[in-house]
Structure 1
Amino acid sequence: MSKSSSSAKFEVAIVGLGYVGVPLALGFAEAGCRTLGFDINSERDLELQRGKSPFKHIASERIAKAIDDGMLEFTTNRSLLSQSEAIIVCVPTPLRSHQDPNLSHILEVAEGIGPYLRDGMLVSLESTTYPGTTRGEFRAMLERHSGLKAGTDFHLCFSPEREDPGNAMSKLREVPKVVGGFTAGCMEKAVSLYEKAVDTVVPVHNCDTAEAVKLTENIFRFTNIALVNELKEIYAQLDVDIWEVIEAAKTKPFGFMPFYPGPGVGGHCIPVDPYYLTWKAREFGIDCRFIELAGQVNRSMPGYVANHLLEAMNDRGQLLHGSSVLVVGVAYKSDVSDDRESPSYHVMDILQQKGAKVDYYDPHVLTIGPDRGQWAGCHSICWDLDVLQHYAAAVVCTAHAAVNYEELADTVPLIVDACNVVPKNRHARVVSA
């Protein structure tokens, strides 16, 4: 295989400028690599070209500085990808309506970048998927549209993203990077690239293994969240506080890792990734009973939370039907604006189906995006005591630090708290869910 041309304008190009792609591009640029960011979304591209961050947890000043230093460029011109030594793909891999994998985004990218591959170039896939995708469908599409052969003419690898938006510990440089190559030569090329931006690179046997690593990480979280959600239901019947149990249990210095209950699971990974494996396993006649059961438990949580409100209002001689209810938090986790797969929307759906008049408050999601069903285009209420006092009840689904829970508990008479953040010594009746 010929070596990548040292005259290439960019050392790396990032395809897909979302929650994974933007910090990845920024990380490589800050590590001294000439980096190109590519996305078909022209609005996102223009925003980044102006040095403006699309995400609250990434400072615009960092992007602007990388651009000013000449280390970072953004474009919607796909042909510029040919001027890079490596291309990293990090686009969504969602589920279809029946929880089967949707590889359309990565296959469209492979088709689009294929004509711009050159001898010696590296292509790295970071989008979460089932084992066999990189060496199978993704490779085949690249080869078909480039006329080149992976492992012979160009390098190919899989390296799972480990981005955790809003987590101060999620820093590209410091989080070890798993890499699996299509061939030994592909692995060597991939390790050489990632070592420029990451302190610790962890090579594994092949692409399939690297794909399995990411699924295992997220299935571990998915099943443990389901376990603690089930324990929450059991302990509630025994009049035991699950939150106190977890706080005490985690004082053990070995053999226990804390997971916390909530209204369900959300985000781009946890509710999605496990089903990539269960779908693939069916090809071999294997039923993933443990994972499927965890999914059933987690999917039941929005109903569990909504029913707690219904029962609490019945206890007070109030009807949920016709009552105004405020849902606090539609982001899928604390202190971020990401509302993908958020269980809050399921809670809102159920409450509305039961006849409640539902509004929401979220300081990070001021307007709900166009792909959120019936809630698309809705706006967060203004946090005002005169406004809050008109609600018969509130349901806390996301524990944002910016929310004044004491004011909430002093103003709204009934609160269902799925996050254990509302003080119980205020005026409101607070029900844990």
Structure 2
Amino acid sequence: MPADLAVIGLGHLGLPLAQAAVAAGIQTVGYDTDPRPHAELSAGRTPVEGSLSASEIRRMLSGGFRPTADPAELGRVRTAAICAPTPLGPDRTLDLGAVTDATRALAARLRPHTTVLVESAVPPGTTENVVRPLLEEGSGLRAGRDFHLAHSPGRLDPGNRARTLARTPKVIGGLTPACTESAAAFYGRLTDKVVRARGPREAEMTKVLETNFRHVNIALVNEMAVLCHDLGVDLWDVIRCAETKPFGFQPFRPGPGVGGHGVPLDPGYFPYSGHTPGHPLRMVSLAKEINDRMPGYVIQRCATLLNEHGKSVRGARVLLLGVTYKPDLADQEASPAREIASRLMDMGAQIGYHDPLVLDWRVRDLPVPRADSLYEAAAGADLTVLLQHHRTYDLQGLAVKAQLLLDTRGATPAGAAHRL
């Protein structure tokens, strides 16, 4: 049966979009240039941790979602959404390899009047200067005349049940006004509100601004955490007081590092950023530097605490709690836990971990021992470090059992543990 929508890229962006489309009654196929997601989905399993659960995948399949390994399916749809990942490459810029692979797969089968949507996080100008020419060269069709092309940045908050795709405004920037309206007609079936950007670059830059806003503000509060500790000031109480201000303030909280799929982006370094490449956003670069220092600061605090209690890091038994990047989510993408564990291992510490969502954890391809009994492990460890606060953790009880507890999330009651 021909589908209405093809989602290309079955990861953190593509699966939630496919889920929303199936729920809206849209016949949807899912395709990935990597064959592994197709095999996992066909078996009713989620191909990426921290995205949809296995039960949600099974509901999608029963609702008509069809994962496919046949790229010919891409030529039988009215709408195609490119949701390929864009991880950081060796040069610390976004790797567009998966996006170009997905675009080429679609281009070879693109038919007239199709609406092509780009949801991948890409540098401003990519939709016009990378995706468009690949589609036109591969299909012989012209964007804006023979098919519609638009960018709509992914905006979901993984694990947030209140902020579903339907309840999150969708920003859309089309190559032409007609492209924008075609994209708006599609997304209007999935979400309560559609926001029209002036064009694809404005839509792409919206993602850059939103991601950098998060990183810059986290960097500010991370610097405040270091300063307040040095001054003997309770930062967590400061934040509690400051967030009562009804205007001009939004609370952010410090932590051991910044994880997740949204990396800080400096469009000044990208080749498609417009007429003024090479003008870096200095605040973004500084924010990244500050946030990248936090795992090292956590190590410093660990060493100081152990030293104050007559122990050395070398030979110390250290238990790490929560190794995912976000609470109550299994996703480990860019979690600072791995770097912290690696540094502690270099210093000679004996590392163990506990995480209710991660049953097997490896650092440098070596398995890290997992604690079966949390309280027993905390009682036996010289130092317990809370890196992620999953709601299943009873922190008051943990503070009683642990010999020494460092809370990097400010989740323990005041005075119950050493806080970042």
Note whether the superposition's TM-score is higher than 0.5.
yes
The RMSD of aligned alpha carbons is: 2.1
CA 332–260 in structure 1, closer or farther in 2 if over 3 Å, else same: same
Return 210-219 or 359-368, whichever deviates more. 359-368
The within-5 A match list for 1:117-132 is: 117-132=110-125
1 CA distance for matches of 2:52 and 2:42? 15
1 CA distance for matches of 2:176 and 2:280? 31
1 CA distance for matches of 2:276 and 2:189? 38
% identical equivalent positions: 35
Look up the equivalent residue of 1:9 and give its one-letter code.
P
Q: Residue 173 of structure 1 aligns to a residue in which SS?
A: helix
Q: Residue 330 of structure 2 aligns to a residue in which SS?
A: coil
User: 2:392 aligned with 1:402, yes or no?
Assistant: yes
Shift of 1:128: 0.8
Unmatched segments (≥5 aa) in structure 2:
none
CA 208–303 in structure 1, closer or farther in 2 if over 3 Å, else same: same
Q: Residue 94 of structure 2 aligns to a residue in which SS?
A: coil
Equivalent residues of 1:215, 1:277 under 8 A apart: no
Q: Residue 166 of structure 2 aligns to a residue in which SS?
A: coil
CA 279–264 in structure 1, closer or farther in 2 if over 3 Å, else same: farther
The one of 213, 223, 233 equivalent to 1:220 is: 213
2 CA distance for matches of 1:275 and 1:332? 22
**Structure 1 counterpart of 2:361:** 368
Shift of 1:50: 4.1
Return 112-121 or 357-366, whichever deviates more. 357-366
CA 76–184 in structure 1, closer or farther in 2 if over 3 Å, else same: same
Look up the equivalent residue of 2:109 and give its one-letter code.
Y
The one of 369, 373, 391 equivalent to 2:381 is: 391
1:1-44 deviation per Cα after TM superposition (whole angstroms, max 9, x unaligned):
xxxxxxx8111111111122111101011111111111244443
**Structure 1 counterpart of 2:87:** 94
Equivalent residues of 2:15, 2:51 under 8 A apart: no
**TM-score, scaled to structure 1:** 0.90
Shift of 1:362: 1.2
Q: Residue 167 of structure 2 aligns to a residue in which SS?
A: coil
**Structure 2 counterpart of 1:5:** none
Equivalent residues of 1:278, 1:291 under 8 A apart: no
**Structure 2 counterpart of 1:81:** 74
Q: Residue 335 of structure 1 aligns to a residue in which SS?
A: coil
Look up the equivalent residue of 1:395 and give its one-letter code.
V
Look up the equivalent residue of 1:410 and give its one-letter code.
V
Equivalent residues of 1:367, 1:380 under 8 A apart: yes
Aligned length: 417
The one of 11, 18, 28 equivalent to 1:35 is: 28
1 CA distance for matches of 2:2 and 2:148? 19
Look up the equivalent residue of 2:418 and give its one-letter code.
V
2 CA distance for matches of 1:289 and 1:66? 44
The one of 397, 410, 414 equivalent to 1:420 is: 410
**Structure 2 counterpart of 1:432:** 419
Return 40-49 or 166-175, whichever deviates more. 40-49
**Structure 1 counterpart of 2:347:** 354
1:354-378 deviation per Cα after TM superposition (whole angstroms, max 9, x unaligned):
1111122111122237xxx605654
1 CA distance for matches of 2:16 and 2:320? 31
Equivalent residues of 1:222, 1:274 under 8 A apart: no
The one of 261, 270, 274 equivalent to 2:265 is: 274
The within-5 A match list for 1:188-337 is: 188-269=181-262, 272-276=263-267, 278-279=269-270, 284-337=277-330
Look up the equivalent residue of 2:348 and give its one-letter code.
G
1:58-99 deviation per Cα after TM superposition (whole angstroms, max 9, x unaligned):
4544443443343x2111221111111111011111112231
Shift of 1:131: 0.9
1 CA distance for matches of 2:384 and 2:374? 14
2 CA distance for matches of 1:9 and 1:119? 16
The one of 54, 58, 61 equivalent to 1:64 is: 58
Unmatched segments (≥5 aa) in structure 1:
1-7
2 CA distance for matches of 1:408 and 1:28? 43
Q: Residue 82 of structure 1 aligns to a residue in which SS?
A: helix
Return 378-387 or 241-250, whichever deviates more. 378-387
